[in-house]
Amino acid sequence: MKKKFICVFLAVVMTATLLAGCGNNNSGSSGGSSSSHTETENVETVDSSTSSVLKDGEKTVLTIVFPGSSSSPASLTKVEKAITEIVNETIDCEVDLQIIEWGVYKEQTNLMLSSGESIDAVLTIGTVAAAANSGQIMDISDMIGIYAPETIELMGNYITGCYMGDELYGLPSYRDFASASGLVCRTDILEELSVDPDTIKSWEDVNTLLGQVKEAYPDLDVLVPANLQAGMLYMMMNGYFDQLYSEIAGVYYDGRDGLTAHSIYESDEFMEVAKQAYDWNQKGYFIADSTTLTETRQAFLSAGSCFGYIGTIHPGTKTQESINAGVDVTTIQINKQGSGTSNIANIQYSIPSASDAPEKALALLNLIYSNPDIQNLLHWGIEGEDYVLVADSVAGYPDGVNSDNTGWSNETWLTGNATIGYAWETDVEDVWTKYEEFNNNANFSPALGFSFDSSSVKNEITAVSNVRDKYKALIYSGLSDPEETVAAFNKELQTAGIQKIVDEMQAQLDAWSQSNQ
């Protein structure tokens, strides 16, 4: 009697579980009309077959998800309404902007995408390949020609860089598309020592400069880490390698040996950085306990207890760091910027597989990328309330509004294509030209357009990641003799299987270059 009860019940539970599992079924196909990659000639209007899809009389709610510092800024509803109004001319929809806080963005979007929540566009940061491989986002290569022709025109090359083989999983967001590193330091000290930043061109020059600073200010912590817990000179490696799998392996940006995959830790550059770290640590340039600090570089700069840090450099760094730290900083780029697939494809607006209206979503993104009015709304908020025009194409805070009480604030690099909108009053002059220069003058990696499929080496990646975490901060902070530690590090990496990853990467690169001949 008892047993029967149990059996029957378990059967019911199992069935219920099965049904629940079934409910997760989603069709991942992209809709769209039958015509293939025909591009529309008319920039302003959409042709009739697509407009029937877009203007089908149904007010679909299109949800766009992106990160921000607050999930409900004061002007949210107004911005949504304003954008909806403009968009309704060509698409029947209602625009819903879902803002998720930075620190929890990755986790929450991952949950939303895995559980099939009905969102229509999401900003993927650094996880495009993984999301594509696990079916979270959809391939838009068929639809893009039809629904986003303007964007193709404006973003051209960069979109090409986002293709994974024949498939495209999103639209890149305009920003700095290359990585470079250098010294970011306090302007006032430079001026005191009468140093002209333009004379500092190499790491050797930086070495001399740091020596001068140490001599003049013996109690100052010369350098602080750019990232917490990653080691002091973690960023110094920026610009050497197009890291096809981040922090493990890649090819040289400057193409010196073409498509040869290397473990970045076995390279001469890494050894040099390790030695530099050891040297500077011995000389006392590093802040104590650099690997376990809890205070950020911004805090140290604003407390005036340090000179600077070695970090990422791009045209917006100076403004960004100065505002955050509250002191004026100078940026001195040392490594030439390198541009590869990961730089371009790192941040994209993707369309989730579970979206009910991918065509409309893509068309909406197209408008965001090409329509200046929408761009300004998304970027700066409501004119007159959140910003005013202070000069031709330059926006600024109205009286009484500042960064604390503004009703809307959004990052430049996640509005899709900020170049078509206004610049901000604190940006350097012709900031967009500067970005273009920075991007166009980069070393373009020979592997541009290649995307590494890590599915066959997942186990090795797990093991290698653990080994790397063991040594990375130590080596980048120069805590012990690099000759020994780097050797030990590489040995453990080999045991963990890094060679398998490199070989797999090489094989894929060879196959890719074949198919591209």
Partner 1 sequence: MKKIKKTIPIYIMLLPGFLYLLINNYLPMGGLIIAFKDVKWNIGIWNSEWVGLANFEYLFKTPDAFNITRNTIVYNIVFILLNLVVALLYAVLLSEIKKKICVKIYQTVIMLPFMISMVIVSYLAYAFLAGDNGLFNGLLNNLGRDSISWYTEPKYWPVILVVINCWKSVGYGTVVYLSSILGVDQELYEAAAVDGISELQKIRYITLPMIKPTIITMMLLNVGRIFYSDFGLFYQVPMSSGALIDVTSTIDTYVYRGLITLGDVGMSSAAGFYQSIVGFILIVLANWFTNRYSKENALF
Partner 2 sequence: MSTTNKKVQIIANLVMICATAFTVIPFLLLFAASLTDSTEIALNGYSFFPAKLSLEAYAYIWNEKQQIFRAYAITIFTTVVGTTVSLLITTLYAYALSKPSFIGKKFFSLFLLFTMLFNGGLVPTYTMYTRYLGIKNSIWALIVPSLLMSAMNVILVRSYIQNNIPLSLTEAAYIDGANEYRIFAQIVCPLSKPILVTIGLFIGVGYWNDWTNGLYYVTDNKLYSIQQLLNNMLKNIEYLSSNSAAMASTIIDVPKSTVRMAIAVVGILPILVIYPYVQKYFVKGIALGAVKG
Given the rule CB under 8 A, which of 46-54, 327-335, 423-431, 469-477 is the region that contacts partner 1? 469-477
Distance CA 288, CA 304 (A): 16
How far, rounded to the nearest angstrom, does the alpha carbon of residue 508 sit from its chain's CA centroid?
24
Figure out which of the listed residues 7, 8, 11, 24 binds partner 1, where binding follows CB under 8 A. Answer: 24
Give the x/- contact pattern for partner 2 in 148-177, rule: CB under 8 A: ---------------------------xxx
Q: Which of residues 402-421 bind partner 2 (CB under 8 A)?
A: 403, 409-413
Which of the listed partners (partner 1, partner 2, none) does 9 bind, with a CB threshold of 5 to 8 Å by partner kind? Answer: partner 2
Residue 370 binding partner 1, by CB under 8 A: no
Contact residue for partner 1 among 91, 119, 140, 496 (CB under 8 A): 496
Nearer to partner 2 among residue 29 and residue 72 (C-beta): 72
C-alpha 10/C-alpha 16 separation (Å) is 10
Scored b (16 or more CB within 10 A) or e, 234-271 reads bbbbbbbbbbbbebbbbbbbbbeeebebbbbbbbebbb
Binding mask 440-479 for partner 2 (x = CB under 8 A): ----------------------------------------
- Minimum distance between the CB of residue 28 and partner 2, rounded to whole angstroms? 17
Q: What's the token pair of residue 457?
A: 């080496």
Residue from the set 206, 357, 374, 473 that interacts with partner 1 by CB under 8 A: 473
Number of residues counted as binding partner 1 (CB under 8 A)? 51
Interaxial angle between packed helices 149-160 and 358-370, expressed in degrees from 0 to 180 and rounded to the nearest 10: 80
Report yes or no: 505 and 261 within 8 Å, Cβ to Cβ.
Answer: yes
Q: How far apart are CA 128 and CA 341, in angstroms?
A: 11
Binds 6: which of partner 2, partner 1, none (CB < 5-8 Å by kind): partner 2
Residue identified by tokens 């999401």 is: 122
Q: Looking up tokens 């791009």, which residue turns up?
A: 314
Instruction: Decide whether 41 or 404 has the Cβ nearer to partner 2.
Output: 404
Whether residue 227 contacts residue 235, with contact meaning beta carbons closer than 8 Å, is answered with yes
Residues 422 and 376: beta-carbon distance below 8 Å = yes
DSSP summary character for residue 407: S
Work out whether the CA dihedral 470, 474, 197, 242 comes out positive or negative: negative
Q: What is the DSSP letter of 135?
A: T
Is the Cβ–Cβ distance between 251 and 260 less than 8 Å?
A: yes
Judged by CB under 8 A, the stretch of 193-201, 343-351, 375-383, 492-500 that binds partner 2 is 343-351
Provide the token pair at 176: 């700095």
Question: Which of 214, 314, 468, 472 touches partner 2 (CB under 8 A)?
Answer: 314
Compute the distance between CA of residue 200 and CA of residue 198 in angstroms, rounded to an integer: 5
List the one residue from 2, 4, 6, 25 that touches partner 1 (CB under 8 A).
25
Contacted by 212, from partner 2, partner 1, none: CB < 5 to 8 Å by type: none
User: What is the Cα–Cα distance from 380 to 374, expressed in whole angstroms?
Assistant: 10
The verdict on 487 binding partner 1 (CB under 8 A) reads no
Q: Is 235 left (phi over 0), alpha (psi -120 to 50) or beta?
A: alpha
142: left (phi over 0), alpha (psi -120 to 50) or beta: alpha
Report the residue number, 265 or 300, with the smaller CB distance to partner 2.
300
| Total site size for partner 2, rule CB under 8 A | 70
110 binds partner 1 (CB under 8 A): yes
Crossing angle of helices 498-515/482-496, nearest 10°? 70
**CB nearer partner 1, residue 86 or residue 299:** 299
Binding site for partner 2 (CB under 8 A): 1-2, 5-6, 9, 20-21, 23-24, 69-72, 98, 100-105, 107-108, 111, 114-117, 125-126, 175-177, 179, 226-228, 230, 235, 294-300, 303-305, 309, 311-312, 314-317, 319-320, 323-324, 343, 346-347, 403, 409-413, 424, 426
Binding site for partner 1 (CB under 8 A): 13, 16-18, 20-22, 24-28, 110, 113-114, 116, 127, 130, 134-136, 138, 229, 245-247, 288-289, 291-292, 294, 353-354, 454, 458-459, 461-463, 465-466, 469-474, 479, 492, 495-496
